[in-house]
Structure 1
Amino acid sequence: MQNNWYFSMILVVPAIIFSGCSSMPQNPSLIEAHSNYNNALTNPQVTDMAALELKEASKFLDKADNALNKRESDATVNHLAYMANQQVAIAQETAKAKAAEAVVANANTARDRVLLEARTAEAEEAKRQLEELKAKKTDRGLVITLQDVLFRTNMAQLEVNGLRTVHKLADFLKQYPERTVLIEGHTDSTGSDSYNQGLSERRAHAVRMALLDSGISSNRIAAKGYGESFPVASNDTAENRQLNRRVEIILSNENGVVSPR
């Protein structure tokens, strides 16, 4: 009976010893590192925006677990746990920074969209105004033509409709202060050269004065008369001569430059 008890104890004691040796040792630093890592995994912002940093943290945790299982020194395990914690912290800060950048980027996108919409609306309004002024695109730029009927016969005084057109042009120029205008007066071939030259100059200056009276700065307006030098039609019919009697207003480009004749 005693022998049976003795052999039983021989079998049990090594089993108890072996069981104690095989249990997982504990390390507070590593437990904390695992907890911090698991918390980070529950944050979608971190997992989405700092996946690489989290992967590095996972590698350090694996190394720390292996070191603990191999009964390496506490200093080694603690160091690896510390590195895992650092990578988790880096992942969290990286995610915060990227989230902030995304907010700024979204704000910039919204701002750019608003600016684009504003510029589009501005361009559409400018197009509408130029169409209303009947501006035509030429090699020299946009040209607004005031025909002879907008002036009193053989005079430089603008009629009501002519003044209305000039006022619309002034409104346009106020909205686009970078633009300038060149006003050119022209006549048909009826009458002497000196008379035609003088009439073309007076009509060009009449338009200039109307723009000045509408609040446009003098340094944005140039005026010149060409007499009968640049007809747009032959002078052999009354209809063609009327086409030649005109004032052309050339709008500059966005840099304030008007192409020379």
Structure 2
Amino acid sequence: MRVVPVLLGLLLLAVSPAQANDEFPGRSLYLDVQHIELADLAERYDEMVIVDVRSLYEYDTLHIGKAVHVSLGASDFVERMQKLRDDNPGKPIVTYCNGKTCMKSYKAARKMQQRDMDNVLCFDAGIMDWAQNQPQRSVLLGESPMDPNKLIAKSEFEKRLLDSEDFISQANGEKILIVDARDPLQRAGYALFTGKERRASLADEKKMGDLIARAAQNGETLFIYDEAGKQVRWLMYRLEQQGVKDYYFMKGGTNAYYKQMREDFTRGN
């Protein structure tokens, strides 16, 4: 009769590692990358070289105070990271991105390891957890220490999301300004609103700013979409900062739109 509790205990031990990684899915996908917890990074903050590997737009919106920016997508990413390694011998280098489901920090750390750079860690809790816990060591829209109350909750972001069908339907209304915020490589020549939309990647801050100002001046509602529906969350900070009230994003971006098209085609709709 005592076999059952023993087997149950073994089963729990077997399941617990997977359960422990549910919050941080990258940890089981990148077993070769060592991670650092938020409390440890805060304690060892002054002895670390911290690198933000997101886009410059995301970095300019919100970043860890002492972080340097080296985008994972930069053509000279490896060379710049090697220089950081050479300039800071013996110091741990910590990469980070948006949060627990963002894999850029893992990918950056692995790329460095593959080039024989040592003492590399991944801070996989990401910028939002850091800003909420370490506002005095965070920069939001150029201000530091930042006010954590100015962080936009996910629930507030979700209020601005429309699924692709509703987005396309409503974007064809009156007094609308449609903006394709994808970068040129993501766009690859394909437009969802040919002849009606304006193109301004998040990296082109001036053009994006001009379009936002135009919409505000003309009383137009902004309908903005990106590739995956994630980068626009950072654009929301600029919209709120400029007092823009009428704007919507496409939930899931063009990835969700094309996925829905494939499903409809398969069903014969």
The TM-score normalised by the length of structure 1 is 0.20
The structure in which a higher percent of residues are helix is: 1
The TM-score normalised by the length of structure 2 is 0.20
**Greater Rg over alpha carbons, structure:** 1
